[in-house]
Each structure stands twice: as C-alpha cells, then as structure tokens.
Chain A
Amino acid sequence: MATRLMFENSCEVGVFSKLTNAYCLVAIGGSESFYSTFEAELADVFPVVKTSIGGTRIIGRLCAGNKNGLLLPHTTTDQELQHLRNSLPDQVVVQRIEERLSALGNCIACNDHVALTHTDLDRETEEMIADVLGVEVFRQTIAGNILVGSYCSFSNRGGLVHPHTSIEDLDELSTLLQVPLVAGTVNRGSEVIAAGLTVNDWTAFCGSDTTATELSVIESVFKLREAQPSALVDEMRKSLIDSYV
C-alpha cells in the first residue's frame, strides 16, 4: 500500500527517509507524525531508526542501501556511524566510504540485486557497492541525467523512472534490472522521482501532493496492492517446509 505524507510541509519524503526491505532510516527533527506514519506501517517488521548524516537531515539523498548493507558518505560522523551500526539488524553491513561524490543517494539507485550508478563514480566505490550491497553494478544515465539515484526509484518488483525516458532506454534498463519499469512522475508532476518517493517490496511512501493517478501508477508498477510482508514470509515458509523432512 502506498501512503502519502509530508515532512514539515515538504512533500519530498525521499529526501528525509530511506526505506529498504530490512530497515528504515528517518531524519530527526521532523514532527512526530512523520515518524509515526512509518512506525505504523513498519514497526512490527523491522526497526525504524532516527538518524542524521553529517549533521544534516537529508539522509535519503546521502546514503544508499538495501537489505544487505548501507553505504554512508565520508561526511558521516563517528557517533552517527556507531548509532547506525548499533540500531540496524546484524546482517546489515554499515560502511562509510571515501568517495568524492558524497551524495550517495543521488548517485546510486539499487534494489537487492542490481545497482545503477553515476557514470563518474570511482572504481573503488563501485567495488565497495558490489561487495557491501551484494549487487551487480551498472553505470547508466536516465533520460540523459547522470544522477541516476535521483531520477529513478526501483524495488525488487518494479521501478519508476524520469518521465522523459525514451522507450528504448526503458527497455534497456528493464532488461538490466530484470523488473518492469514505467516512466512517470510523483508529487504532482515532479520529475525527481527518488526525492518524492521511497519504496520497498511491500510498501511505499510518497509526498502528499501526489495525485491519485500518480499513486495508482506507483501501486501498480511496484505491485503494492497484494503485497504484505507476511505474504513474502509465507512464500518462504512453504519452500522451507518442502525441504524439511
């Protein structure tokens, strides 16, 4: 299910939060209703962690992560790093990397299997991404924009990209990512998809300016209507029991 919300009158929820299949990060200093909206959806599944990165609240744009790990920019302070290591589940590797392009959330878009990155990212960073996040890395542009992390958002089930992406690009990206993609907007015509939307395999949060049409596109491409965390667990359980003699 997709939920609409605001962070202090701003509809850019993807800037102030980071949602994955194993954890959720939320910026400090927002109203309690922002935090509690996330808690209401997620608290019984995994921790919702309040944090800052480098003393700022734009955490969604500074870090990149999936269920395997979390990459933080060099501007992250030691206390923040320690806080994240303590609060996140043990299987999530939290790593601070030295990369000139420190807005990792704008440069890297990933799900649990594939990552798209900025074309100018360092080689070492690319290796770190493959290592920590456990993904295959592709350098790409989206509709001519190098900030792939800003102009697209994808989960393991589907993805939304910049509205001006051509059909050929869409097909190419869809083949790379192995998920269905749709070109669309969020927050009433905003092209910066990842700033207005944060999504995982069963839920999405977008800005309250998002129109009903945009919301229905989001729910259909990310397959949110049937998805519940228990549904995924049930599927896993069936296959587990099959192999248990």
Chain B
Amino acid sequence: MPRGPTRDKRRTYKSKDQKGFPLSSKDKGIPKHTLEGKSDLSGSSEEEGSEADFVFFDPKPDDFHGVKILLQTYLDDTQWDLSGFVDLILAQTTVGTVVKMEGDDDDTPFSIVTALNLGRYKDHKCIKELKEFLLKVCQEKDVIRDLRLLMGEQAHDVGLLVSQRVVNLPPQLLPPLHDALFDEVSWATEDEPTAELRNSFRFKCYLLVSKIYKHKNANQKNNRNLIRRSGSDGGDGIVYIKPEDENFHKLSLWSFSFPMHAQQVETQEASNIVVCFFWF
C-alpha cells in the first residue's frame, strides 16, 4: 500500500532530571545513570541529578509488552481484550508516539500517546468492550445521553485519546509530546493514502479516560482533609496525576467520573475520569 511522505518523526529531548527525584521508581527500563551524591557531598556544590535523553518513536509491534504494561489498568480491573487494543494502537503508525530512553538496551516504552478513531475501529472486539464498559459505568444521566451518541452515531468523529506513562516521566516532555500528537493528526488528514483514512482523522472531539484522585469527604464541612489540601488541588478536591488532565478537564464539554476498584488509597479515592472536549 503506497504511503504518503512521512514527516521526520524522531525527536530527541534532553531532559535534566529534577533534584532529588530518582529517575526510576519503577523497575522496568533501568537507566544507566543513577542518582549520585547524597549526604557525603553535603559540602560540595555539585548538582544532584541525572541526565537522560528521551526519543520519540512511531509505535511498532515490538513494543507490545511494554505498552501493555502501561495500559494494564486502563479500564480498571475489567477483563477485556487489552491485547487487541494494544495491537490496534501499535498498528497505527501514522498517529501515535512511544517515548523511550536513548541507549536503553531494554527498549522499554516510558510513555504511549495516541488517538484512535472510534468509528474506524468500531468492529474490533476491544473497542466494543470499551464502549460497553464506559456506558455501564457512567452514572450521570445527563452525560450518558451524549456518551451514547458519541459511541454510536457520531463515533466516526470521535478520537479516543490514549495517554499513559510512567509516573516519573519528566514533565518537560509533555508539551512536545502532545504537540507531536496533534501535529500528526493534522498531517494525517493530508498525508493518508485514501480519502476515507484522511477523513477518519478529522476529529470533531476527543474522548479521554484517565485516573485522578478525589477527596473522599470533599463535600463535608469542617473536615481536616479540606484544611490540609495543598494549592495544587483542583478547587473541587481533585488531584490530577497527569497535570495536562487538569487543563483538558477545564476545556471539556462534559465529564464524569467513576470509582476504581483496582486501587484503594486511604484518605483519597482513586477514580477514573472520562472527559470529552472539542477540537477546532
């Protein structure tokens, strides 16, 4: 199948790790640089940190295991065709980015970002299961009507934004990562070989499923949790794990959240949030 000209995809980003934050809190993808200089260097002015170069790649089938691990709790603890979903993401090489570390022998993905057209893939088992799941967990009546429309008749205009990464990925990478995604979507509307594919990337809106933390007792007055809340919380007692989610939430047309079963934290409840927002 003839492919249009591909834009230069590979980009390398030098990222200086923040002071005191180890670059690998998860065990996969052990970077060669480790945190140096602790108490014995208290007198010196050496900066504590490590350098790492991150590279953006097109998704490829070899990334299967790494991406699957990143998306393990995407739909909470439901049993669904996650393998099929990952295959779908990796097959779409024109739109989607996998972030890896330069020189990493393990070749493990640190992050995956992509946008999938719900209408184009509507016959795949994983997409059907995803739609069923979202319609099932949506408890808010005014939202469920819109959700049903998006999943059904308007599916062809909806892009499912999948964005997942290791917790400690340096935040400096996020603006270029998201710019890259939206650039690729607009390039795809011009470069894809068939008209059908080109149109499939003309998204009218995006759907995002993401994890947040919500204060359990956010509605109670005189509650100690509220007093101890730091300034980084959303006004309604939400803590966003991924900072860009707060922006997406503010821009969104509508959103709903549902409780997760896979993780329980004491003072705060882990919830999943689904947001829908317009793209011009």
**A-to-B contact residues, CB < 8 Å:** 6, 8-11, 31, 33, 188-190, 208-209
Contact = CB atoms under 8 A, between A and B. Distances in A.
Interface stretch (B79-87, B97-105, B176-184, B193-201): B79-87
Contacts of B65: 188-190
Nearest to B80: A9
B72 A9 contact: yes
Contacts of A33: 79
11 contacts: A8-B77, A9-B72, A9-B77, A9-B82, A10-B72, A11-B83, A33-B79, A188-B65, A189-B64, A189-B65, A209-B83
A61 to B, nearest CB: 15
B225 to A, nearest CB: 28
Output the residue of B77, B78, B82 with the most chain A CB within 10 A: B82
Interface of B: 64-65, 72, 77-80, 82-83
B82 A188 contact: no
Output the residue of B64, B65, B79 with the most chain A CB within 10 A: B79
Contacts of A190: 65
A240 B82 CA distance: 50
A208 B77 contact: no
| B contact patch SS | loop
A8 B83 contact: no
Contacts of A188: 64-65, 83
Contacts of B82: 9
Nearest to A188: B64
Contact of B79 (A8, A189, A209): A8
Nearest to A209: B83
A131 to B, nearest CB: 35
Contacts of A209: 83
A208 B64 CA distance: 14
A190 B79 CA distance: 21
Contacts of B78: 9
| A contact patch SS | loop
Given A9-B72, A10-B72, A31 B79 contact: yes
A215 to B, nearest CB: 15
Nearest to A31: B79
A11 to B, nearest CB: 8
A6 B80 CA distance: 10
Nearest to A33: B79
A25 B78 CA distance: 23
A91 B262 CA distance: 38
Contacts of B64: 188-189
Output the residue of A33, A189, A209 with the most chain B CB within 10 A: A209
A32 to B, nearest CB: 11
B35 to A, nearest CB: 27
A31 B83 CA distance: 19
A198 B72 CA distance: 22
Nearest to B62: A189
Contacts of A6: 79
Given A9-B79, A9-B80, A11-B83, 6 more contacts: A9-B78, A31-B79, A33-B79, A189-B64, A189-B65, A208-B83
A136 B181 CA distance: 58
Nearest to B82: A9
Contacts of B79: 6, 8-9, 31, 33
A31 to B, nearest CB: 6
Q: Which 4 A-B pairs have the closest CB atoms?
A: A209-B83, A8-B77, A9-B79, A9-B82
A190 B78 CA distance: 23
A189 B63 CA distance: 12
Contacts of B77: 8-9
Output the residue of A9, A189, A208 with the most chain B CB within 10 A: A9
A193 B181 CA distance: 37
A7 to B, nearest CB: 9
A33 B78 CA distance: 12
A31 B65 CA distance: 23
A223 B184 CA distance: 50
Contacts of A189: 64-65
